[in-house]
Amino acid sequence: MKRQSAIRFLNETADEAVIEIYGQIGYEGWTRDEDENTVRLLNGELDRIKSLQAKHITVKINSLGGDVNHALSIHDLLAEHPAAVTTQINGLCASAATIVAMAGKERKMSKNALFLIHQCSAYVGRANEEKLAQELEAQKTVNERMLAIYSECCPGKEQELAELLKANNGIGRWLTAEEAKNFGFVTDIYNETRKTACFTQSVFTDSGLPAIPAEYADLLAQDEPRSPWQSFLDLLAKHLPTDNQPKTHIEMKRLFPLLAVALAFADSTSYDPEKGLTLTDEQLKTIEGKLGELDTLKKDNKALSDEKTTLTASLAEATKERDRLKAIVDAVPSQTPAVAGADPTPAPKDDIKAYVNGSSLYQSIKHEI
Residues 187 and 294 in one domain: no
Residues 290 and 306 in one domain: yes
- Among the candidates 311, 343, 361, a domain finishes at 311
Cα(69)–Cα(92) distance, rounded to whole angstroms? Answer: 20
Of 218-232, 242-256, 307-321, least confident by mean pLDDT is 242-256
Question: In this structure, which long-range contacts are made by residues 188-191, counting pairs with CB atoms below 8 Å and at least 24 apart in sequence?
Answer: 188/106, 188/107, 188/108, 188/109, 189/108, 189/109, 189/110, 189/111, 190/88, 190/108, 190/109, 190/110, 190/111, 191/110, 191/111
- Whether the per-residue pLDDT at 3 is higher than 50: the answer is no
Residue 239: pLDDT band with limits 50, 70, 90: low
Residues 108 and 199 in one domain: yes
- Among the candidates 163, 189, 221, a domain finishes at 221
Cα(321)–Cα(290) distance, rounded to whole angstroms? Answer: 46
Distances from the Cα of 177 to the Cα of 18, 30, 66, 171, 298, angstroms: 22, 37, 22, 19, 47
Domain range for residue 35? 8-221
Please answer whether residues 25 and 65 qualify as being in contact, where contact means their C-beta atoms are separated by less than 8 angstroms. yes
Residues 232 and 251 in one domain: yes
Residues 262 and 113 in one domain: no
Of 5-9, 43-47, 315-319, least confident by mean pLDDT is 5-9
Closest CA to 125 of 299, 351, 289: 299
Residues 30 and 150 in one domain: yes
Amino acid at site 169: N
Residues 289 and 146 in one domain: no
Q: What is the DSSP string of 160-175?
A: HHHHHHHHHHHT---B
Asked if residue 178 belongs to a domain, the reply is yes
Q: Kindly report the backbone phi and psi dihedral angles of residue 109, in degrees, each rounded to the nearest multiple of 5, phi listed first.
A: -145, 135
Listed in sequence order, the DSSP H helices in 118-157 are 129-153
Closest CA to 101 of 4, 25, 197, 212: 25
Asked if residue 67 belongs to a domain, the reply is yes
Residue 243: pLDDT band with limits 50, 70, 90: very low
Closest CA to 117 of 158, 137, 147, 152: 147
User: What are the residues facing 61 on neighbouring strands?
Assistant: 21, 89
The strand ranges marked E within 143-278 are: 188-190, 199-200, 220-221, 271-272, 276-277
Q: Number of structural domains, the chain?
A: 2
Better-predicted residue by pLDDT, 267 or 204? 204
Strands 16-22 and 56-63: parallel
pLDDT reported for residue 246:
41
Better-predicted residue by pLDDT, 175 or 352? 175
Cα(253)–Cα(40) distance, rounded to whole angstroms? Answer: 29
Asked if residue 364 belongs to a domain, the reply is no
- Among the candidates 311, 337, 364, a domain finishes at 311
What does the mean pLDDT of the chain come to?
A: 76
Asked if residue 158 belongs to a domain, the reply is yes
pLDDT reported for residue 47:
72
Residues 52 and 138 in one domain: yes
State what percent of residues in the chain have pLDDT above 90. Answer: 27
pLDDT reported for residue 61:
93
Residue 176: pLDDT band with limits 50, 70, 90: very high
- Under DSSP, is residue 255 helix (H, G, I), strand (E, B) or coil? helix
Most confident stretch, 14-18, 58-62, 249-253, 271-275: 58-62
Residue 247: pLDDT band with limits 50, 70, 90: very low
Residues 265-316 have pLDDT tens digits of 555 555 555 555 566 677 667 777 776 777 777 778 788 888 888 888 888 8
Better-predicted residue by pLDDT, 52 or 144? 144
Residues 282 and 214 in one domain: no
Asked if residue 120 belongs to a domain, the reply is yes
- Whether the per-residue pLDDT at 357 is higher than 80: the answer is no
The strand ranges marked E within 251-346 are: 271-272, 276-277
Residues 174 and 262 in one domain: no
Of 115-124, 156-165, 286-295, 348-357, least confident by mean pLDDT is 348-357
> Helix and strand tally (H, E) in the chain?
12, 11
Cα(221)–Cα(217) distance, rounded to whole angstroms? Answer: 8
Better-predicted residue by pLDDT, 277 or 52? 52
Asked if residue 21 belongs to a domain, the reply is yes
State what percent of residues in the chain have pLDDT above 70. Answer: 62
Better-predicted residue by pLDDT, 270 or 64? 64
pLDDT reported for residue 185:
97
Cα(341)–Cα(357) distance, rounded to whole angstroms? Answer: 19
